[in-house]
Amino acid sequence: MTRVWTSAADWLAHRRALEGRPIGFVPTMGALHCGHAALIEHCRRENEIVVVSIFVNPTQFNDPNDLHRYPRTLERDMELLQKLGVDDVLVPPVSDLYPCGYRFRVEPTGAALMESAWRPGFLTGVLTVVLKLLGLVRPARAYFGEKDYQQLHAVSDMVQEFFIPTEIVACPTVRAYSGLAESSRNALLSPTDRDRAALLHQALITGPSPAETQAALEADGFNVDYVEEHWGRRFAAASIGGVRLIDNVAIPENPCS
């Protein structure tokens, strides 16, 4: 039976009863899809207790319209979580996670790149809310998808930097048959744009260079924010039909090199 917690105080009272039992945690913003299901199934294989959070974090949105448009499908999400046998679901209000507003936050330093450059405050919002959620759940392991690789990389660094006793587990990106990375934002795509969106992954794996990859995407009708290479991977953010998508792959080998 899946338990739902809408109060941080009630959850913390229950959390004390779980002391000593291995807990795995999957933080989400809802609008769940098969990529989330894969994270949860991985979590279930390695932990006695599976906890999932659903929280659309306002501090990681620099565009109020983007926050407003973000899909919210709580009833359907709960049906999926029940089927997956999740033990506990946290659905906290903003006032519980930010009782002092946005007074305290985690500020990463260093050069702003990719999402940090294009979405000011994004990474600060992500790290701040993840730190809060890890403090609430205190899991042995937390599971993140490689689609949001920059976020995964930053969270891993934060956990190490602050000596947080949670193992960050990276899980491969789940893709549709077309190659399109599963994402909550895919729900905003029209059927035609969903077909075209698959060209993002295709360009990433076939482009000889970031510049040529960007040119190919623009020729296919994408509005490209960036194509960059870091940490042995090629990243892109691009919009189609007004929906912004991100993806990344291991840097393709150049057969001519």
Q: Is residue 68 flagged as an active site residue?
A: no
Burial-class residue 165 by CB neighbours within 10 Å (0-12, 13-18, 19+). exposed
Residues 6+ positions from 31 with CB-CB distance below 8 Å: 70, 71, 72, 73, 77, 184, 187
Given the residues 14, 33, 36, 230, the one annotated as active site: 36
| Residue keyed to tokens 């949860």 | 40
Question: What does DSSP say about strands 243-250 and 233-240: parallel, antiparallel, or unpaired?
Answer: antiparallel
How far is 65 from 85, CA to CA, in rounded Å?
34
The count of C-alpha atoms lying within 13 angstroms of the C-alpha of 256, restricted to the half-sphere facing its C-beta, is 4
How far is 226 from 161, CA to CA, in rounded Å?
28
Q: Rg for the chain (alpha carbons), in Å?
A: 19
Catalytic center residues: 36
